[in-house]
């Protein structure tokens, strides 16, 4: 039987994710685990290339990443994984077991991404749900383990814990990215259900990333807040030749 990893390398990306997700928690069994982890690591390699390519293209076009507040303070668009990234992923895999392999691979290999900012040719880019994935929070000196420990403790003491699963937040919602009052943050629902992380009941982490990369890092459109499409070819140029995860 051909391994999932070999199939993934051969381009069967959608089919491999379908089959691995269908394994549910049995993906953590010895007979599947190493193969599935290899797929998750390769996914992260491809994601890292996409992120670095996107950031290079945006910066070449004059884009400046900035905080989503009134000051709009400039900040890096990408922090590679810190020296403590692997330890953070190790801790999450133990503390929140079963922990999605794709999320652990992202933390170890990709880092923090923040595409909120100002584009000189597209003032409404902040209204396009820019790609944000931050688990380490390197900009703020790390400390995400302590933050998530506190959130986990608060959830465990909540009277609503049986009706509301714990969520590992990694991004503001589309409105807050644009400095507009909105909903709660995007996050991974825990405990995990297998190889890939879930964002709520119907969206997978990898699918969400693929949608973002296919749109050049800007997959949304807040029309009610004044969204305007980018100049012709801008989004397509950003997305050109990015890799399918």
Q: Tokens for 176?
A: 């807050």
**Measuring CA to CA, how many Å separate 45 from each of 28, 41, 115?**
21, 6, 19
**pLDDT at residue 29 in the model:** 97
Cα distance between residue 54 and residue 56, in whole Å: 5
**pLDDT at residue 193 in the model:** 86
**pLDDT at residue 220 in the model:** 98
Cα distance between residue 156 and residue 55, in whole Å: 38
Identify the CA nearest to 25 among candidates 152, 154, 195, 148.
195
**pLDDT at residue 81 in the model:** 98
Q: What is the pLDDT tens value at each position of the chain, 245 positions in all?
A: 899 999 999 999 999 999 999 999 999 999 999 999 999 999 999 999 999 999 999 999 999 999 999 999 999 999 999 999 999 999 999 999 999 999 999 999 999 999 999 999 999 999 999 999 999 999 988 788 999 999 989 888 888 777 789 999 999 999 999 999 989 999 999 988 899 999 987 899 999 999 999 999 999 999 999 999 999 999 999 999 999 99
Q: What is the pTM of this model?
A: 0.96
Q: CB of 40 within 8 A of CB of 17?
A: no
Q: CB of 138 within 8 A of CB of 112?
A: yes
**Domain spans of the chain, in order of start:** 4-239
Cα distance between residue 84 and residue 145, in whole Å: 10
| DSSP secondary structure string for all residues of 182-243 | --PPEEEEES--SSS-EETTTEEHHHHHHHHHHTTT-----GGGT--PPSTTHHHHHHTTPP
Identify the CA nearest to 52 among candidates 222, 228, 213.
213
């Amino acid at each position: 039987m051909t391994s999932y990893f070999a199939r993934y390398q051969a381009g069967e990306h959608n089919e491999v994710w379908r089959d691995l997700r269908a394994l549910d928690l049995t993906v953590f069994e010895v007979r599947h685990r190493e193969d599935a982890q290899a797929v998750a690591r390769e996914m992260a390699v491809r994601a890292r290339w996409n992120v670095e390519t996107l950031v290079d293209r945006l910066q070449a076009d004059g884009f400046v990443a900035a905080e989503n507040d009134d000051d709009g303070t400039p900040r890096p668009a990408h922090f590679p994984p810190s020296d403590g990234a692997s330890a953070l992923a190790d801790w999450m895999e133990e503390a929140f077991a079963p922990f999605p392999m794709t999320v652990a691979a992202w933390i170890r290999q990709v880092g923090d991404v923040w595409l909120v900012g100002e584009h000189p040719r597209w003032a409404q880019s902040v209204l396009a749900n820019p790609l944000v994935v931050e688990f380490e929070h390197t900009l703020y000196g790390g400390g995400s383990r302590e933050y998530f420990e506190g959130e986990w403790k608060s959830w465990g003491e909540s009277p609503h814990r049986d009706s509301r699963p714990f969520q590992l937040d990694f991004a503001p919602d589309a409105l807050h990215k644009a400095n507009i009052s909105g909903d709660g943050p995007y996050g991974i629902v825990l405990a995990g259900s297998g190889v890939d992380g879930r964002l709520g009941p119907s969206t997978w982490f990898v699918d969400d990333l693929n949608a973002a990369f296919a749109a050049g890092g800007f997959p949304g459109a807040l029309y009610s807040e004044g969204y305007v499409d980018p100049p012709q070819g801008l989004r397509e140029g950003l997305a050109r030749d990015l890799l399918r995860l």
